[in-house]
């Protein structure tokens, strides 16, 4: 008899572990444990989604004839970790081997590889995760051929490998990337699609009650829990996006609108990242919509690029450079994370809106994360490890392999430009251009140094001044420093920014 341990982000029937085991002879282990639920203060909706999806998946496996041993969460249980659970089952059943698919977090993977076999006195077989387009080994081979590991180069190779939106070796439309066509602001037309709602079954209700009781101190609300928790729900979410949102996704994917939390975004990443959907079936559906004339090329290419490009790329970066990558801090930032990242209470309307969306839905789209909450953390010099922990905690789709490179690399520029050639820093003008947030704000986006000036403005220029030695000669930042040289209020900017930083929790 062999054990097959299935983790909370591996909830797919085509998982390598299930392919390797025999449903008659072997036993599946699944567990909700304190260690995994609390190593950061996960959003209650994230915990509820994973626990409920796990329970539904275990039920499906049992219906297919698998023998499943399942440990439901108990805060006072002596079983605190996954290893504890395996050991407890080892005492009850005559097991000869533990089989597991490569997990998505370096911390746990290293524990499995270095300690579990010895601790259990049992062979541990770790299988490649076949749910991705690119294995860590393939990415390592690709990276060995380049001095600069830009996502665009990787993305083009993945397009050629998979054939998505390709005619032979050339892209449809004779253009690889339509990002420049995907930056429109949304002013009420076309109308937004009606949100998708799922009925809660008894498993969902039991989990929601459990999470409300056990994790009420974690930031975030369960009141608006709308996530699907089954494979069939996830497929409905995919169909809903392809039908109602994909046609307009490209045009408005960078837009931000007051009180409009989802716009035309897919909301599929939580399902992809926990295993309820596979990236291939999602990309297949998007490409089919293009061929059917249902969605334009800029929308479909932009969506496929997020999955085939960014998602695979950040996973490759993570496994190529961990564990050293997690401690990178190229700009030597050390400021504590402001309190309002956990409370959501700030007079900066753009930040308050992103926090409201985050805590109500365990969600915010990529521009809200990168150019608002992330941009502010960059400009104010927040410790990269603290903001990384925050992103890992508050979003339903956050797992370290995807969250850490996006935060350290894209948001904080802490990896010395490995992922992004220049910092994604911006003043309030960017937010004003891409959203209607500023007209609802008590701060003035048009000024820099007045008492009511948008904090992003002086903080942006102060960031450039503080890091002048690093970036003045940067080939993509020359225009910024030429503009800085023309500013006549440089001293006032510095003074105002320093004042803001000294009272940051009052902004």
Q: Is residue 306 pLDDT above 80, yes or no?
A: yes
Alpha-carbon distance 282 to 272, whole Å? Answer: 9
Task: Place 320 in a pLDDT band, splitting at 50, 70 and 90.
Answer: very high
Q: What is residue 178's predicted lDDT score, i.e. its pLDDT? A: 84
Percentage with pLDDT > 70 across the chain = 100
Range 272-297 average pLDDT: 97
Span 202-221, average pLDDT: 96
Amino acid 425: pLDDT = 95
Indicate if the pLDDT at residue 117 is higher than 80.
Answer: yes
**Residue range 475-492: average pLDDT?**
93
pLDDT at 180 over 90: no
Give bridge partners of residue 453 from the DSSP assignment.
Answer: 444
Proportion of the chain above pLDDT 90, given as a percent: 94
Give Dmax (Cα) for the chain.
Answer: 77
Is 96 a residue whose pLDDT tops 80? Answer: yes
The string of pLDDT tens digits covering residues 247-274 is 999 989 999 999 988 999 999 999 999 9
- Asked which of 176-190, 211-225, 226-240, 447-461 is least confident by mean pLDDT, the reply is 176-190
- Name the one residue in this structure whose structure tokens are 């989802």: 262
What is the chain's length?
Answer: 507
Is residue 32 within 8 Å of residue 54, measured between CB atoms?
yes
**What's the pLDDT score for residue 345?**
96
Q: How far apart are CA 433 and CA 355, in angstroms?
A: 20
Rounded distance between C-alpha atoms, residue 411 and residue 273, angstroms: 20
Q: CA dist 167 to 160, 171, 176, 384, 507, Å?
A: 9, 6, 12, 42, 52
Pair of tokens at residue 384: 């990269």
pLDDT of residue 202: 97
The domain made up of 136-198+217-321 has a fold known as 1.25.40
Q: Does the pLDDT at position 182 exceed 80?
A: no
Instruction: Please state the rounded mean pLDDT for residues 463-474.
Output: 94
CB contact at 8 A, 490 and 465: yes
> What span, in angstroms and rounded, lies between the C-alpha atoms of 71 and 6?
12
Average pLDDT over residues 228-232: 97
Among candidate residues 496, 494, 439, 430, the one with its CA nearest the CA of residue 468: 494
Quick check: helix, strand or coil at residue 389? helix
| pLDDT for the residue numbered 235 | 98
Burial category of 403 from C-beta neighbours within 10 Å (exposed 0-12, middle 13-18, buried 19 and up): buried
Which fold, 340-506?
DNA Cyclobutane Dipyrimidine Photolyase, subunit A; domain 3 (1.10.579)
Is 238:285 a contact under the CB 8 Å cutoff? Answer: yes
Q: Which of 337, 329, 429 is nearest to 380 (CA)?
A: 337
At 335 the three-state DSSP class reads: strand
DSSP characters over 400-441? HHHHHIIIIIIIT-TTTTSS-SS-----HHHHHHHBSGGGG-
What mean pLDDT do residues 178-201 have?
88
Are the C-beta atoms of residues 397 and 273 closer than 8 Å to each other? yes
DSSP letters along 282-294, please?
Answer: HHHHHHHHHHTTS
The 10s digit of each residue's pLDDT in 5-51 is 999 999 999 999 999 999 999 999 999 999 999 999 999 999 999 99
pLDDT, average across residues 75-104: 95
Q: Where are the domains of the chain?
A: 2-127, 136-198+217-321, 340-506
Confidence of residue 183 (pLDDT cuts 50, 70, 90): confident
Band the pLDDT of 492: cuts 50, 70, 90: very high
Q: What is the pLDDT of residue 196?
A: 93
- Mean pLDDT across the stretch 322-327? 96
2-127 fold:
Rossmann fold (3.40.50)
Q: Which two tokens stand for residue 202?
A: 């008894």
Q: Cβ contacts of residue 444 below 8 Å, gap of 6+?
A: 450, 452, 453, 454
pLDDT category of residue 453 using cuts at 50, 70 and 90: very high
pTM (predicted TM-score): 0.95
DSSP output for 119-186: HHTS-EEEE--TTSSS-HHHHHHHHTT-SS--HHHHHHHHHHHH-TTEETTEEGGG-S--GGGS----
- pLDDT given at position 273: 97
- Looking from the CA of 261 toward its CB, the CA atoms found within 13 Å total 17
| Share of the chain residues as helix, strand and coil, in percent rounded to the nearest 5 | 55, 5, 40
Q: Check if 2-127 and 136-198+217-321 are the same fold.
A: no
Rounded average pLDDT over 315-328: 97
């Amino acid at each position: 008899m062999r054990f097959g341990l299935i983790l909370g982000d591996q909830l797919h029937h085509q998982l390598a572990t299930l392919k390797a085991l025999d449903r008659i002879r072997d036993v599946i282990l699944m567990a909700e444990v304190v260690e995994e639920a609390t190593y950061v203060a996960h959003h209650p909706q994230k915990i509820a989604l994973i626990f409920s999806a796990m329970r539904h998946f275990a039920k499906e496996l049992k219906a297919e004839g698998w023998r499943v041993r399942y440990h439901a969460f108990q805060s006072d249980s002596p079983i605190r970790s996954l290893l504890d659970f395996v050991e407890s089952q080892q005492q009850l059943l005559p097991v000869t081997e533990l089989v597991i698919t490569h997990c998505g977090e370096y911390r746990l993977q290293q524990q499995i590889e270095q300690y579990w076999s010895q601790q259990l006195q049992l062979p541990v077989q770790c299988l490649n995760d076949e749910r991705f387009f690119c294995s860590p080994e393939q990415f390592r081979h690709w990276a060995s051929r380049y001095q600069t590991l830009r996502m665009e180069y990787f993305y083009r190779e993945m397009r050629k490998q998979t054939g998505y939106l390709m005619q032979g070796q050339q892209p449809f439309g004779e253009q690889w990337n339509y990002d420049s066509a995907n930056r429109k602001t949304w002013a009420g037309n076309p109308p937004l699609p009606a949100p998708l709602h799922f009925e809660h079954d008894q498993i969902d209700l039991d989990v929601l009650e459990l999470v409300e009781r056990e994790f009420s101190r974690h930031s975030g609300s369960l009141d608006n829990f709308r996530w699907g928790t089954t494979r069939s729900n996830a497929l409905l979410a995919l169909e809903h996006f392809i039908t109602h949102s994909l046609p307009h996704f490209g045009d408005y994917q960078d837009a931000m609108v007051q009180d409009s939390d989802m716009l035309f975004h897919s909301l599929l990443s939580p399902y992809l990242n926990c295993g309820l959907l596979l990236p291939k079936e999602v990309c297949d559906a998007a490409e089919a919509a293009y061929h059917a004339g249902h969605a334009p090329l800029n929308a479909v290419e932009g969506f496929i690029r997020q999955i085939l490009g960014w998602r695979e790329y950040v996973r490759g970066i993570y496994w190529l450079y961990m564990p050293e990558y997690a401690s990178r801090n190229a700009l030597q930032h050390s400021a504590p994370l402001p309190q309002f990242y956990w409370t959501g209470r700030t007079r900066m309307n753009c930040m308050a809106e992103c926090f409201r969306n985050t805590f109500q839905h365990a969600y915010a789209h990529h521009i809200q994360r990168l150019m608002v909450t992330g941009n502010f953390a960059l400009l104010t010099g927040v410790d990269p490890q603290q903001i990384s922990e925050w992103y890992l905690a508050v979003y339903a789709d956050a797992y370290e392999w995807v969250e850490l490179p996006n935060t350290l690399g894209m948001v904080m520029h802490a990896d010395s430009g490995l992922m992004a050639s220049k910092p994604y820093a911006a003043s309030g003008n960017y937010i004003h251009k891409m959203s209607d947030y500023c007209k609802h704000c008590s701060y003035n986006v048009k000024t820099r140094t007045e008492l009511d000036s948008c904090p992003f403005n002086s903080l942006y220029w102060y960031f450039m001044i503080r890091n002048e030695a690093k970036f003045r000669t940067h080939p993509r930042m020359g225009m910024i420093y030429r503009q800085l040289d023309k500013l006549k209020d440089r001293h006032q900017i510095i003074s105002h920014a320093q004042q803001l930083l000294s009272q940051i929790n009052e902004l």
